[in-house]
Amino acid sequence: MNSLRGLRVWVTRPVAQAAASAKRWQARGATVHLAPLIGIHPLELSPDQRRACEDFGPDCVVLSSPNVAEHFARVFSPQSPGAAAWRCAAVGSRTAARAEELGLRVEMVASRATAEDLAAELLAHPVGQRYLLPGGDRQRPVLAERLGAGGASTLRCTLYSNRSLEVGGEEVERLRDFEPQVVAFYSPSAVESLVKQPPAMRACPTVIAWATVGETTAAAARRHGLDPVLSPDSPGEGPLIEEVERWWIEAQN
- Torsion sign across C-alpha atoms 188, 237, 44, 122: positive
Predicted structure pTM score? 0.80
Average pLDDT rounded to a whole number, residues 219-244: 92
- Distance between CA 219 and CA 214 in Å, rounded? 9
Distance, in Å, from the CA atom of 45 to the CA atom of 43, rounded to the nearest integer, reads: 7
Instruction: Report d(CA 165, CA 34) in Å as an integer.
Output: 13
The backbone region for 48, taken as left when phi is positive above 0, alpha when psi lies in -120 to 50, beta otherwise, is alpha
- For residue range 73-113, what is the model confidence (pLDDT) as tens digits? 999 876 777 787 899 998 878 889 999 999 999 998 887 66
d(CA 149, CA 55): 22
pLDDT in tens, 103-160: 999 998 887 667 777 888 888 888 889 999 999 998 888 889 999 999 999 999 999 9
Residue 113 pLDDT:
64
Domains by residue range for the chain, with CATH:
8-37+165-252 (3.40.50.10090), 41-162 (3.40.50.10090)
Give the DSSP letter of residue 236. Answer: S
Mean pLDDT for 170-184 is: 92
Query: What number of other Cβ atoms are within 10 A of residue 206's Cβ?
Result: 14
**DSSP one-letter code for 84:** G
- 112 or 242, higher pLDDT: 242
Rounded CA-CA distance 113/73 in Å is: 21
CA distances from 5 to 45, 82, 162, 244, 250 (A): 45, 48, 32, 12, 13
189 has pLDDT over 80: yes
Higher pLDDT, 94 or 17: 17
Mean residue pLDDT of the chain comes to 90
Per the model's pLDDT, the better-predicted residue between 235 and 189 turns out to be 189
Dihedral (Cα; 44, 50, 54, 60), 10-degree rounding: -30
Pairing label, strands 153-164, 38-42? antiparallel
- Report how far apart the first and last C-alpha atoms of the chain are (Å, whole number): 18
Q: Which long-range contacts (CB under 8 A, 24 or more apart) does 248-252 make?
A: 248/3, 248/4, 248/7, 249/3, 251/208
Show contacts of 214-218: CB within 8 Å, 24+ apart: 214/113, 214/114, 215/112, 215/113, 215/114, 215/117, 216/113, 216/114, 216/115, 216/140, 216/188, 217/185, 217/186, 217/187, 217/188, 217/190, 217/191
Contact 129, 153 (CB under 8 A): yes
What are the tens digits of pLDDT across the range 191-202?
999 998 887 677
Quote the percentage of the chain above a pLDDT of 70.
97
**What confidence tier does 34 reach under pLDDT thresholds 50, 70, 90?**
very high
The pLDDT-based confidence of 216 (bands split at 50, 70, 90) is: confident
- Residues 220-241 have a mean pLDDT of 91
Q: In 3-state terms, what secondary structure has residue 174?
A: helix
User: What's residue 232's pLDDT?
Assistant: 92
